[in-house]
A and B are shown apart, each in its own frame.
Chain A
């Protein structure tokens, strides 16, 4: 199919077919989520559920790919759905305009291959990890603060996010003082999407490690957590 011609041979025809049958739930449609959704739509993941209870505001314009002056005040999930449909109508996309809660998490993650953590606070991230664990599916995590970001893959039964956020009494991290930048969100969202695709295709990805990217110093570090 001409649409996927430039995916080859990094993604074989067999891989492409496999991706078209995969189902991914992306929780959070902001800075990270917008990039993840864009990448997964273009590469041809068959079905995406996009979850967010928020609407765009002006402070999102510095980094959130799906935001524009035209959709301020409108749901992020609606923008995500419209973007996917505009880019690749072969991808089914379901928009869920809701915040993740312990009540709705089992239903939101049920019948999906992978969950993607594009959230922006610590309690929600830990809640999503627990929900993914209970659903028995991997979770691909990313978070950003200023020029830095991190990515990890949490397999069912692991609690890597509990190691990263251990006993934190805070809801936020360094981003409170450092902010969140456009290229950091783009870089980490792209890394996150690549880990999703590797998982979907059974390729070797991050395992028990945290990949930290420091864009200010143009450096990366892989730390073993387990």
Chain B
């Protein structure tokens, strides 16, 4: 099990940031991802592993006013 934005989500082997984003339908273009507090750049989404027990934060980048 992992945490995604404070909620439990089932983990499976082979999970990467990209896999998780696709599964959770985070399809917006402007996203900030942190795994266990560490920022993950977009170019690393394909290969950055999500491990069982990880705490993942996925934020939509918003700056309008």
Residue A144 lies at the interface, judged by CB distance under 8 Å to chain B:
yes
**With A and B bound together, what is the CA distance between A161 and B41 in angstroms?**
17
A174-B32 contact, Cβ under 8 Å, with A122-B63, A145-B62: no
Residue A81 lies at the interface, judged by CB distance under 8 Å to chain B:
no
A173-B65 contact, Cβ under 8 Å, with A145-B60, A167-B39, A223-B57: no
Q: Which of the 9-residue segments A13-21, A26-34, A83-91, A106-114 touches chain B?
A: A26-34
Task: Please indicate the chain A residues that have their CB under 8 angstroms from the CB of B41 in the complex.
Answer: 167
Task: Please indicate the chain A residues that have their CB under 8 angstroms from the CB of B39 in the complex.
Answer: 166-167
Interface size on A, residues (CB 8 A): 41
A149-B61 contact, Cβ under 8 Å, with A167-B39, A177-B29, A224-B6: no
Asked if A170 and B65 make an inter-chain contact with CB atoms under 8 angstroms apart, the answer reads: no
Residue A175 lies at the interface, judged by CB distance under 8 Å to chain B:
yes
Main secondary structure of the interface of A (DSSP, over half): mixed
**With A and B bound together, what is the CA distance between A172 and B62 in angstroms?**
7
Residue A180 lies at the interface, judged by CB distance under 8 Å to chain B:
yes
Q: Which residues of B approach A to under 8 Å, CB–CB? A: 5-6, 28-30, 32, 34, 39, 41, 57, 59-65
**With A and B bound together, what is the CA distance between A221 and B60 in angstroms?**
13
- Distance between A158 CB and nearest chain B CB, rounded to angstroms: 14
| B63 CB contact (under 8 Å) in A165, A167, A185, A222 | A165
Residue A153 lies at the interface, judged by CB distance under 8 Å to chain B:
no
Q: Which residues of A approach B to under 8 Å, CB–CB? A: 28, 30-33, 118-122, 125, 142-145, 148-150, 163-168, 170-177, 179-180, 185, 210, 221-225
Task: Please indicate the chain A residues that have their CB under 8 angstroms from the CB of B65 in the complex.
Answer: 28, 30-33, 118-120, 142-144, 180, 185
Task: Please indicate the chain A residues that have their CB under 8 angstroms from the CB of B60 in the complex.
Answer: 145, 148, 173-174
